[in-house]
Structure 1
Amino acid sequence: MNPYSCTLYNCKSLNKLKSYLNIEDDKYFKSLNANLSANPFKFFRKFEKNERELFRCNKRITQIHQRFIKLFKIEESEYLKSGIKKESHITNALAHKDSNFFLLVDIKGFYPSTTKAKIKKQLIMTYQQSSNVAEFISNAVTVPQEKANNKRALVTGSVLSQYFAYVINKKMFDELYKLSKHNDVIFTVYVDDISFSSKKVLTYKFHQQVYNIIKKYGYTVHNGKVYRGKINNKSKITGVQITKYGFRLLTKHKDKIKELKNKIDIKSKRSLLGMLNYAIQVNPKYRRYKNLFKNYEELN
């Protein structure tokens, strides 16, 4: 089976794409195509959050993105832990719970580095689309970003973002998965967090092979966020501290819970409720705070 097979695989016609998008009006489709190319900010509105460049998508583009998720439904690999049902940053960490050695890699500026040019190339080369179909789709999922030197790159903040990052980079992730399988290493992907683990030492050679694959696909490893070594206080996977005694909350999460416990306003109580629900998933000992929930029933 072709691992890249989906409804839009080998789509060569804009008319066919229009039909797949359930658009009947030719004039509207032509206008949409022109605006996606020339006026992306008609569909995406920028806002900042924790210094990240995020975008709010309007109703029209959100509907198209929701449709793309269905049309690009491809074979999901066991290593994928983001953008799909029943998987999360918790299940991502769980995959590595019995390991003793780790290689934790972060791709620098992952979304800004997933440029329109890369997306269009993969749509043509991997998904066998015509140039005009790939142009429409790549315009529909990208927006100019400062962190991409004002080039168009995969939009952040869309319902599509996490899953489409996998669709476009599946070849790279599949190559990393094949390398891991060959070396009897556990491999998972959660957006731009790439995690490898094993009961055996992960060698520098393996590290370099991983680095070379990522570099081959035009991405840069964030050297300041790489960890290769045994289980210790640096073995953190998607916000979860992995220890030889099991999962533990990160210090920043513990401190946040302590801070919120002393506040009485409704917003803080709701934040505490969310933090405790998360903490229980990481470490069941936080169930001892269950009595706090009884006082917050009105917040649900």
Structure 2
Amino acid sequence: MLNNQYELNQSLLYQCHSKKKLARILQIDIKEMLSISENPQYFSFKKKKKNSMDERDIEAPEASLKKIQRRIFTLLKRIRKPAYLMAGEKGKSTYSNAEFHQYNSFFLKLDMANFYPNCKREYVYNFFFLKMHCSKDVSKILCDLTCHNGALIQGSSASMVLTYFAYEDMFSEIDSFLKSQDLIWTTWVDDITISKSEPFNKDNIILKISRILVAYGHHLKPKKTRYIKSNSPKLVTGVIINKKNDLKVRNQTRNEIIKMFQRFNNRDDFVDTDEFEHLRKQLLGKISFAQQTEPHLFSELRKKVKAKSY
């Protein structure tokens, strides 16, 4: 448990009953807070889903709203949460998520469909009003600042942590059920990984979890459901657990880094500095991601990227 975490009732937002106090907590002038909450501004764009040709709609907040949402995220992320929750948690990463399951042999991977659009405003409101014990007007403002078109948005830092708090009861039901089956599990936003050292009845697990999700307005994506047996490598949030239970960077990620570096190394491909620097940042980000799993992987390549300018 991280030392800087605390219980929900120790949060600054707990029992916030006035707009003035809320503005002070959010570190913003009250008039500006109310103006933004009454007319939140977003810009929309499409982004390709990872490892897919499909696209998802992203609604990104304008600068002032983004700053407020970041503050809400900072306040909520410090509240103590269960070990199975991985995404957005300080000290945890996609590597941590894979490491949690490292020495198990049988895996069930599930994916929730249209997760953010199905995280409805009423659940967010109920979290602030019923669990945080904020007043009705404060709860409404917090919803106005974090929801759009009746749901949580994908382009907000606050959304990742609010998906858990808004649907804490749903996740708790899943946790209780899986514990009763002697299974361990983690969730990375809409990605659920379940594992055990021995075979288990996957159909029973899928049916029960599906029923829990449907009761809260969510559902599974059947085409993403995978049951993986002991003699197969397991892919968990981009990290491979091989037959020896070692954590490795997947070949796809290795190849992407090599191709990006080859392009980066050819300055003639770039029209201007901005394009070059954008690829440079992307490449360093990819290498950092890989080094979470294998710390010394691409070390020399990383030095070359950091040293090279346009």
TM-score using structure 2 length: 0.79
Q: Is the 8 A contact 1:232 1:243 kept in 2?
A: no
Q: Could you tell me how far 1:283 is from its partner in structure 2?
A: 4.2
How far apart, CA to CA, are the structure 2 residues paired with 1:135 and 1:100? Answer: 46
- The amino acid that maps onto 2:216 is Y
- The answer to whether 1:59 aligns with 2:89 is no
- The answer to whether 1:237 aligns with 2:236 is yes
Q: Could you tell me how far 1:118 is from its partner in structure 2?
A: 2.7
Of the structure 1 ranges 213-222 and 161-170, higher mean CA displacement relative to structure 2 is found in 161-170
Q: Is the 8 A contact 1:202 1:229 kept in 2?
A: no
Gaps of at least 5 residues in structure 2 are 1-5, 49-54, 268-275
The answer for the alignment partner of 2:247 in structure 1 is: 247
The answer for the alignment partner of 1:148 in structure 2 is: none
Gaps of at least 5 residues in structure 1 are 145-151
Q: Could you tell me how far 1:70 is from its partner in structure 2?
A: 4.1
- Alpha carbons of 1:216 and 1:10: their partners in 2 closer, same or farther (altered >3 Å)? farther
How far apart, CA to CA, are the structure 1 residues paired with 2:284 and 2:20? Answer: 49
Q: Could you tell me how far 1:161 is from its partner in structure 2?
A: 2.5
The answer for the alignment partner of 1:190 in structure 2 is: 188
- The amino acid that maps onto 2:223 is G
- Alpha carbons of 1:64 and 1:250: their partners in 2 closer, same or farther (altered >3 Å)? same
- Residues 252-279 of structure 1: per-residue CA shift (max 9 Å, x gap): 3233234335432364666554434433
Q: Could you tell me how far 1:110 is from its partner in structure 2?
A: 0.8
Q: Could you tell me how far 1:81 is from its partner in structure 2?
A: 1.1
Q: Is the 8 A contact 1:202 1:228 kept in 2?
A: no
The answer for the alignment partner of 1:149 in structure 2 is: none
The answer for the alignment partner of 1:88 in structure 2 is: 93
- Alpha carbons of 1:299 and 1:49: their partners in 2 closer, same or farther (altered >3 Å)? farther
TM-score using structure 1 length: 0.81
How far apart, CA to CA, are the structure 2 residues paired with 1:280 and 1:136? Answer: 41
Determine which of 46, 49, 62 is the counterpart of 1:48. 46
Paired residues in the alignment total: 283
Q: Could you tell me how far 1:3 is from its partner in structure 2?
A: 6.0
- The answer to whether 1:113 aligns with 2:130 is no
Determine which of 161, 174, 177 is the counterpart of 2:175. 177
The answer for the alignment partner of 2:300 in structure 1 is: 291
How far apart, CA to CA, are the structure 2 residues paired with 1:188 and 1:237? Answer: 10
How far apart, CA to CA, are the structure 2 residues paired with 1:20 and 1:173? Answer: 28
Instruction: Report SS of the residue matched to 1:206.
Output: helix
Percent identity over paired residues = 27
CA RMSD of aligned residues (A): 2.8
Q: Could you tell me how far 1:12 is from its partner in structure 2?
A: 3.8
